[in-house]
Amino acid sequence: MDLLNTLVDKGLRRELPTREEALAVLATSDDDVLDVVAAAGKVRRHWFGRRVKLNYLVNLKSGLCPEDCSYCSQRLGSSTGILKYSWLKPDEASKAAAAGLAGGAKRVCLVASGRGPTDRDVDRVAGTIKAIKEQHEGVEVCACLGLLSDGQAERLREAGADAYNHNLNTSEGTYGDITTTHTYADRVDTVNKAHAAGLSACSGLIAGMGESDEDLVDVVFSLRELDPDSVPVNFLIPVEGTPLAKEWNLTPQRCLRILAMVRFVCPDVEVRIAGGREVHLRTLQPLALHLANSVFLGDYLTTEGQAGRADLEMIADAGFVVEGSDEVTLPQHRAEAQGGGCGSHGAEGAVCGSHGAEGAGCGSHAEAGCGSACDSHEAVAVPAGEPRTDLVAVRRRGAGTDLAPNA
């Protein structure tokens, strides 16, 4: 297919595709999806080899958010029944992080719900970063706390944060349809503040909210212009009790095409499969590893994910290897631009993915989950194209509970 050959050539040169080419990827048929994966996989392997970076979420503060983001289980007035708790103490957060690091994660993503941190909140998070880094030499820490005020990014950097996450989520033209309590411009401003402070910036999207192909291309092109080191791709999980509960728009093939388009537009950037992979990619998750070079291990912010051991088995079975703590995530030209590099040992590492207040923290749309069906490997007979509500379960373990986390 001439289109795919052209996109591979451009990806190897870090050349931006045209909007028409990006739209054409999304318009390919299910019959061509393996060809699309194979082409984008060449670009992924050129820049990242067969390494897969593991990231681990710690939800520092759950629920109780004043924002009205339509996709979020933590939103104002939410009736989703998620865990609700205020700030974890530094030792509690460090203990939660340790579980993910023991499972192979090299980055810890610290997320807190809310519009944005107060100066006192920044002090809290600074204490947590210190506790984690004192106990885990070389760990990368990303903060995901919402909209930043002037000077806060610098304070987080001084406290030892390597990265900051804040997603754009969708196109500027449709942003007002999903959130009214802050603007698209507010999000762009926070990403720019992180950049300016010397933090490795991370920003991504949520697919499946009823957006058009044009919206998806718009937001990915906007991300390319912002130039984050990491782009998390979340797939909406329509949780009961949220305004988007009926939006089941994705198929595994559609998710693969979206990831391929992101890879072609952002060829040398860490692309992370974030929330929703278990629910929407399902048994095709291993194919997605040929497109993305980063995933989350274990559970998400408010919902359960695939068992951590199953994640590791999937990576190995697909012929990939877990990225080591001493390996630099980004290609050399990007790592040098970061003064050590996104994902470098103890430096500006790869980042996380989504404003925690939106129920999507650190690159991970919090509504992702696999639930008991994944943990027990029980087969569930659901007709093709039907909503997979059986794969969504509210998190009842890990941070904020007395039960061991899934890592």
Q: Residues 336-352: pLDDT tens digits?
A: 887 644 444 333 333 33
Q: What is the mean predicted confidence (pLDDT) over 74-103?
A: 86
d(CA 153, CA 202): 13
pLDDT of residue 298: 87
Going through 135-225 in order, the beta strands assigned E by DSSP cover: 140-144, 163-165, 200-202, 205-207
**Confidence class for position 400, pLDDT limits 50, 70, 90:** confident
**Confidence class for position 380, pLDDT limits 50, 70, 90:** low
Q: Mind listing the pLDDT tens digit for each residue in 244-258?
A: 989 999 999 999 999
Task: Please list the active-site residues.
Answer: 65, 69, 72, 109, 142, 202, 272
- The mean-pLDDT minimum among 68-72, 137-141, 318-322 falls in 68-72
Compute φ and ψ for 164, nearest 5 degrees.
-140, 135
**Confidence class for position 239, pLDDT limits 50, 70, 90:** confident
Backbone angle region of 150, left / alpha / beta, with phi > 0 → left and psi within -120 to 50 → alpha? beta
pLDDT of residue 65: 86
237 or 320, higher pLDDT? 320
d(CA 296, CA 215): 25
pLDDT of residue 386: 83
First to last CA, the chain: 41
Q: What is the mean predicted confidence (pLDDT) over 297-310?
A: 86
pLDDT of residue 85: 87
400 or 176, higher pLDDT? 176
pLDDT of residue 63: 81
Please give the angle made by the CA atoms of 103, 104 and 110, to the nearest 5 degrees: 85
For the chain, state the CA radius of gyration: 19
Mean confidence (pLDDT) of the chain:
88
Q: Is the pTM of this model over 0.75?
A: yes
CATH entry 3.10.180.10 includes domain 2-391? no
In the predicted structure, residue 110 carries a pLDDT above the cut 80: yes
Q: What is the mean predicted confidence (pLDDT) over 168-195?
A: 96
